[in-house]
Structure 1
Amino acid sequence: MKLQYASADALARLVEDIRSAEEGFLPVQEIEKAPVLFGHRILPMSVGMLSGIVDGHPKLRSGREITTSQVYFIDTELGVARTMSRWYRLDIPAVQRFN
């Protein structure tokens, strides 16, 4: 049996993005085009994931509640998160939105 969660190229892009983010450099043009998660929250699972209402996702319908792949980087002050597959822009968290 062969199981591959992600390609080496995808992991290399992820590592490059995290290194840049740790150094304070974010890919502004890429993030401007990233899907937005409204009412996002971090899910208490064995790996960190986000859920929320998505807008602008290249594969998923806008207005739908989704659960992301594993989160590898998140900065809520800047409103960005990097999952295995892509960047997300973060709107107001669910806790703040509904209080």
Structure 2
Amino acid sequence: MTFVFNDPGIMRRVLRDLEHLEAGVLNTAEIMATAPLLEDHRLVLGWCHAMKGIVTGHPLLPDGNEVVTSQLIYMNPNIGLARTLSRWYRLGTLRPKQGH
């Protein structure tokens, strides 16, 4: 199996966001105002770690769809924010563990 990452601009945006986060200059208020919301979310593992949940406000996907995000890069449930390879997400409700 061959995998080719053909858009280095995506990785540059991810690295810029992580650098801003580390430097304490990331505009989380703007992100929280504009990022899609992921409700009933949980971690999933496929070829990488990702998230699965019900999306609202995504620029490409209809509201109410269950989606699997691109690769998870950063997640802080304390502030309700996650960064995937493609974009930031606001974290809504966490899906309860089954059997609990």
TM-score by length of 1: 0.84
Secondary structure of 1:94's counterpart equals coil
The 1:57–1:78 alpha-carbon spacing in structure 2 relative to 1, beyond 3 Å, is same
Shift of 1:22: 2.9
| Identity fraction in percent | 33
In the TM superposition, what is the alpha-carbon distance from 1:18 to its structure 2 partner? 1.3
Deviation at 1:3, TM superposition (A): 5.8
- Which stretch has the larger CA shift, 55-64 or 87-96? 87-96
Q: What are structure 1's unaligned runs of at least 5 residues?
A: none
Distance (whole Å) between structure 1 residues aligned to residue 31 and residue 62 of structure 2: 20
Shift of 1:95: 1.5
Q: Shift of the alpha carbon at 1:31?
A: 3.2
Structure 2: 5+ residue stretches without partners: none
Q: CA RMSD in A?
A: 2.1
Kindly tell me the number of residue pairs found equivalent between the two proteins: 96
Classify the secondary structure of the residue corresponding to 1:32: helix
